[in-house]
Amino acid sequence: MKKLLVTGSGGQLGRSVNRLMGSKYELVQTDVFEGDGIKALDITDVDAVCKAVAAEKPYAVINCAAYTAVDSQEKDVETSYRINAVGARNLAIAAEEAGAKLVHISTDYVFSGDKTTPYTEFDATGPVSVYGRTKLAGENFVKEFSRRHFILRTAWLYGDGKNFVKTMLRLSETHQRVSVVDDQIGNPTSSDELAKAIDYLLETDNYGLFHATCEGSCSWAEFAEEIFRLAGRDIEVEKLTSDEYALRNPQAAPRPHFSHLDKLMFRLTGDFAMCDWHEAIERYLA
């Protein structure tokens, strides 16, 4: 049985990878903590990463680890670069030395959000936040140090962990009305669907950069309305502009206003497609 080394295995995507791929691969699960079958691995320590990957000799490394608290990173810049950029570099170096494939997860935040049509893998990047800049740096390190890599940009991820869906459901227990931004457009994406994209690519030599989100797009407010509808909760969604929301809830990091990711590379190079976001959120809530 082929072996996969998974970083960030305690997170939303790591858990989805475990559920989907645990029966067909031998998984070496790692995170910053140790316990419950998870080995401690600090991806910012290049020697520790190279030693761990060399010892396990995996078929592939799947990097689900990231610093995703976007507002905190505006003041914690060095930690952001250490995890999102240098951590990716370390895994790329180790995977290349071990002859392993590398799957690296990136984000829609690498774009400015100034377009009005979906972003393809061929569009110029232009991150406006520390999180976006450090994730783009991570992409570049992966391209530089790993020949056999898959970079998957995703967005608005939810799964088994802290996420927008669970926040909305929690608020609906004590509020009849919630305020949500309505002028930021993106692709709500199930971590289970993203794990399927990883599983699909791993058995191929179709290396490179891919956008990997559920099909279709909506605003955060529209996403919230669908969550409440499917959950059978009669909650009013107050639709705010980003500026209106920021006056009530100041945010340190700017968000891309439009980050609909087009899955052009999947269409050009294969027959894989992720399901529509409506279908994915219905399955998740069920």
Which amino acid is residue 206, in one-letter code?
Answer: N
Q: Rounded distance, CA 136 to CA 110, Å?
A: 6
Continuous H helices in 57-102: 77-80, 87-98
Backbone angles phi, psi at 277, to 5 degrees: -65, -30
Q: Is 131 part of the annotated catalytic residue set?
A: yes
Backbone angles phi, psi at 40, to 5 degrees: -75, 130
Please provide the DSSP assignment of 197-241 as one string: HHHHHHTS---EEEE---BS-EEHHHHHHHHHHHHT---EEEEE-
Q: Would you give the DSSP letter of residue 32?
A: S
Q: Which of the following is catalytic: 25, 67, 131, 200?
A: 131
- According to DSSP, the residues that pair with 211 across neighbouring strands are 153
Residue 253 DSSP SS3: coil
Backbone angles phi, psi at 151, to 5 degrees: -105, 120
Q: How many CA atoms lie within 13 A of 220 on its CB side?
A: 27
277: left (phi over 0), alpha (psi -120 to 50) or beta: alpha
Tally of CB atoms within 10 A around 176: 9
Continuous H helices in the chain: 12-21, 46-56, 77-80, 87-98, 130-145, 164-172, 191-202, 220-231, 242-248, 264-269, 277-285
Catalytic residues: 131
